[in-house]
C-alpha cells in the first residue's frame, strides 16, 4: 500500500487534530477531533471524505467533535475497548495487540495507560506514523491523571521499541514549554541543546514542532530516558530503578 497522507490541523490554543488519508481506498480518518467544524472544512478543502474517527482517549479536547462529524459523514468511530463507555458514538472497540484496517492501511493498537486509564495509541507501521494522543509529546509526556508512574513508563517503553524513523503525531504543541523543563533534568545533553534551539526557531516563525520522530525523542525527551545515568544523577537518584527516576522527573515537571 501507499503511505498515508497526513494533514495536521491546529485547533484551539495548542491542540493538533490529524487527517490520515488512504488514497487507495478513498478512506480518511480523523484522529482525535477536538471539534467538528474546522475538521470538516479541512477535509472538504482536500476533497477527502471522512470515513473514520480514531480516538486515543476520552478527554473532551480529543472526542469533542465525534458526534457532529459522525452525523455529518456517517463515519465509523474507533476507540478503546477498556474505555468504551467514555468514547461518544463508539462503533468499534480495540485494544492491545489488535490491528485495525482503515481502508488499505493497517493500524496496530497499543494500550498506553497513564494519562488516562483507557488511553490507546495507533501505529501505522507502513506509514511510519504513530498517533499517541496525550501519552508522548515532543520532549514531554502526558500528566498522570488516571495512572501511575509505573504504568506510564511501561506505556512509553512500548514506543521506545518502535523504529527510530517513526513520526510522532502527538495531540498538543507543548514542545517549547517541555524544552524549558527538559534542560533542567538533562543539562549535559548536547543533542537536546541543539534541538531546543531548533524548537525556538520554529516557534518564532509560528511553525509546528510536531511531528518529531522516535529517534529524536529517544535522544532528547527526559521521559523516554528515565534509564539514563546522567538524568538519574541530576535528579539525585543515581542507580535507582527507571520507574523511580521517571516518577521523580514527572513530579518535577508537574511543579515546574
Ligand atoms: Zn488528554
Ligand atoms: Fe489533550
The DSSP string of 163-180 is -TT-EEEESB--HHHHHH
Distance of CA 187 to the CA centre of its chain: 25
Average model confidence (pLDDT) for the chain? Answer: 98
pLDDT in tens, 59-84: 999 999 999 999 999 999 999 999 99
pTM over 0.85: yes
Residue 2 has pLDDT above 80, yes or no: no
pLDDT in tens, 109-144: 999 999 999 999 999 999 999 999 999 999 999 999
In the chain, pLDDT over 90 holds for what percent of residues?
99
| Surrounding residues of ion ligand 2, Cβ less than 5 A | 61, 134
Q: Kindly compute the dihedral angle of the four CA atoms of residues 62, 250, 144, 218, in this order, to the nearest 10 degrees.
A: 50
Q: Is 57 a catalytic residue?
A: yes
Q: Is 7 a catalytic residue?
A: no
- Could you tell me the CA-to-CA distances from 190 to 4, 163, 208 in Å, in that order? 34, 22, 22
Please give the distance, rounded to the nearest whole angstrom, from the Cα atom of residue 172 to the centre of ligand 1. 9
Please give the distance, rounded to the nearest whole angstrom, from the Cα atom of residue 236 to the centre of ligand 2. 31
Please give the distance, rounded to the nearest whole angstrom, from the Cα atom of residue 190 to the centre of ligand 1. 31
What is the average per-residue pLDDT within 209-220?
98
Q: Is 172 a catalytic residue?
A: yes
Q: Closest Cα partner for 113 from 162, 60, 59, 149?
A: 149
> Under 8 Å CB-to-CB from 238, ≥6 apart: which residues?
229, 232
Q: SS3 sequence, 42-86?
A: HHHHHCCCCCEEECCCCCHHHHCCHHHHHHHHCCEEEEEHHHHHH
Please give the distance, rounded to the nearest whole angstrom, from the Cα atom of residue 119 to the centre of ligand 1. 9
pLDDT in tens, 164-190: 999 999 999 999 999 999 999 999 999
Q: Is 52 a catalytic residue?
A: no
Residue 28's pLDDT band, with cuts at 50, 70 and 90, is very high
Q: Decide if 47 contacts 67 (C-beta within 8 A).
A: no
What is the average per-residue pLDDT within 16-41?
98
> Under 8 Å CB-to-CB from 251, ≥6 apart: which residues?
none
Q: Structural domains in the chain?
A: 5-255 (3.60.15.10)
| Predicted pLDDT of residue 1 | 58
| Predicted pLDDT of residue 169 | 99
Please give the distance, rounded to the nearest whole angstrom, from the Cα atom of residue 61 to the centre of ligand 2. 5
Q: Is 59 a catalytic residue?
A: yes
Please give the distance, rounded to the nearest whole angstrom, from the Cα atom of residue 34 to the centre of ligand 2. 9
Q: Is 119 a catalytic residue?
A: no
Which residue is catalytic, options 59, 111, 119, 186?
59
27, three cell numbers: 478512506
Amino acid at each position: 500500500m501507499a503511505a498515508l497522507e497526513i494533514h495536521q490541523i491546529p485547533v484551539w490554543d495548542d491542540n493538533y487534530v490529524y487527517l490520515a488519508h488512504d488514497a487507495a481506498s478513498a478512506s480518511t480518518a480523523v484522529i482525535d477531533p477536538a471539534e467538528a467544524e474546522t475538521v470538516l472544512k479541512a477535509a472538504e478543502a482536500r476533497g477527502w471524505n471522512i470515513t473514520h474517527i480514531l480516538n486515543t482517549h476520552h478527554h473532551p479536547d480529543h472526542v469533542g467533535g465525534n458526534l457532529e462529524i459522525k452525523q455529518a459523514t456517517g463515519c465509523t468511530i474507533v476507540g478503546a475497548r477498556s474505555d468504551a463507555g467514555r468514547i461518544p458514538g463508539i462503533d468499534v472497540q480495540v485494544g492491545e495487540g489488535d490491528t485495525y484496517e482503515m481502508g488499505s492501511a493497517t493500524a496496530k493498537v497499543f494500550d498506553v495507560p497513564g494519562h488516562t486509564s483507557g488511553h490507546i495509541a495507533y501505529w501505522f507501521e507502513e506509514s511510519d506514523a504513530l498517533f499517541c494522543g496525550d501519552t508522548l509529546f515532543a520532549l514531554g509526556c502526558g500528566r498522570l491523571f488516571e495512572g501511575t508512574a509505573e504504568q506510564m513508563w511501561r506505556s512509553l517503553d512500548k514506543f521506545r521499541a518502535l523504529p527510530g524513523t517513526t513520526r510522532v503525531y502527538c495531540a498538543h504543541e507543548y514542545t517549547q514549554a517541555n524544552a524549558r523543563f527538559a534542560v533542567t533534568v538533562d543539562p549535559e545533553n548536547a543533542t537536546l541543546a541543539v534541538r531546543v534551539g531548533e524548537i525556538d526557531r520554529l516557534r518564532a516563525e509560528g511553525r509546528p514542532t510536531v511531528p518529531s520522530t522516535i529517534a529524536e525523542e529517544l535522544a532528547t525527551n527526559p521521559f523516554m530516558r528515565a534509564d539514563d545515568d546522567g538524568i538519574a544523577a541530576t535528579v539525585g537518584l543515581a542507580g535507582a530503578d527507571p520507574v523511580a527516576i521517571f516518577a521523580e522527573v514527572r513530579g518535577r515537571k508537574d511543579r515546574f
